[in-house]
Amino acid sequence: MAKEFTVRPVIFPSSTPSTPYTRRPGSSSPPPPFQTAPRASSPLPFIPFDIPSTSSAPPPLYSGVPIASSSSGYFEDEPPLLEELGINTRQIWRKTVSILNPIRLDPVLHEDGDLSGPFMFLLSFGLFQLLAGKFYFGIVLGWVIIASLFLYSTFNMIAGRNGCLDLYRCFSIIGYCMLPMVIFSAGSLFLPHGGTLIFAIGMVFVFWSTWVCTSLLLRLASCGDEHRGLVGYACWLVYLLFSLLVIF
């Protein structure tokens, strides 16, 4: 036989205030369920989100503290993202124009070395070779590192104590002087390979890169022109290797 259970009625609190339940002394009856004491009604604070106007009205106040409401955003005072990454596009453009005009070469622009422009030229060189069906990205980056170490050690041995060339600036100069090789790599896509024409044009661009790199190394490192032939020969070997990548 099923046993019957008594279910107490559920009483929901109403919005009207009610008196809290107090147990009488000597009473053993439990308090009614789901009855709580009324809470004091407190309105939620209102924060105005008005669009700032151009009028000279004072900013709104909240809890005695003025809320700044200016038309300028939070990110206007922040520097551009390229400057935070250390990429100065104006400086890269000036150095590029300086390399394109070897007669009026300005070594003052290359006193502060950077790696953004050299990496851009090296990737462009590898991209043009990729369009020619040659995957040389790793070879190009490896050769540039070896060439930087080679020129750095060679120049310091020639200059002796008078040499003031650091490895960072040497890598920057070699990378920027790769611009004629990038132009030669782009032009080789439209030249017939296997003839004397591409060899002659390649030697012109090799001489261009050699002249610019030698001039920058001698002027920035304060070495003098008595070692121009030795430094120029080392630079000529470096850029001759890159031209062979394009020709063959």
Dist. CA 247–CA 195, nearest whole Å: 10
Dist. CA 48–CA 46, nearest whole Å: 6
Average pLDDT score over residue span 187-207: 92
Average pLDDT score over residue span 129-142: 93
Exposed/middle/buried for residue 68 (C-beta within 10 Å: 0-12, 13-18, 19+): exposed
Q: How do residues 42-88 score in pLDDT, each as one tens digit?
A: 555 555 555 555 555 555 544 555 545 444 555 566 767 766 666 88
- Could you tell me the end-to-end alpha-carbon distance of the chain, in angstroms, rounded to an integer? 101
- φ, ψ (nearest 5 deg) of residue 62: -140, 115
Residues 6+ apart with CB under 8 A from 50: 60, 69
Please answer whether residues 230 and 143 qualify as being in contact, where contact means their C-beta atoms are separated by less than 8 angstroms. Answer: no
- Local structure of 247: helix, strand or coil: helix
- Which tops the pLDDT comparison, 65 or 108? 108
